[in-house]
Structure 1
Amino acid sequence: MPRYEFRCRACGDTFEVNRPMARAAEPARCPQGHDDTAKLLSTIAVTGRSGVGGIAPTAGGGCCGGGCGC
């Protein structure tokens, strides 16, 4: 289930809410009970290799697909 991050404008608390995507636009009440909250834009970091089994597919090698002989 997606996790959405909010910040309370009244107390400054930042908190997360788990809810279905169908309810993503709904406002959230902060843990302290305040209603004036703003949904934050969260960023994620994805690291590692893509492909099957964590092995990145190759396209011929080198910095330019193998055409430069590097």
Structure 2
Amino acid sequence: MPRYEYRCRTCGETFEMNRPMAESGAPASCPAGHDDTVKLLSAVAVGGTAAAPAPSGGGCCGGGGCC
């Protein structure tokens, strides 16, 4: 189940909740009970693969002898 991060606009506390993706936009109360919260954007990648390796050889300064 995905984990979402929220921030309370009333007290400023940041907290996380596990909830289904279908409920990601639903209101969330902070641990202190305040209802004025906002979902934060996550920097975690959702899919894909690791970064591709850097190309080697050829091109300027990549082994092409232009330097």
Structure 1-normalised TM-score?
0.65
Pairing of 1:1-70 with structure 2 (within 5 A): 1-44=1-44, 50=50, 61-62=56-57, 66=58, 70=63
* Pairwise CA distance, 1:14: 0.2
- Runs of 5+ unmatched residues, structure 1: 51-55
- What is the CA RMSD across the aligned residues, in angstroms? 2.7
Kindly tell me: are residues 67 and 9 of structure 1, through their superposed partners in 2, closer, same or farther at Cα, counting changes over 3 Å?
closer
Superposed CA offset, 1:12-49 (max 9, x none): 0000011110111101000000001011112127xxx8
Percentage of matched positions with identical amino acids: 68
Secondary structure of 1:15's counterpart equals: strand
Structure 2-normalised TM-score?
0.67
- Runs of 5+ unmatched residues, structure 2: none
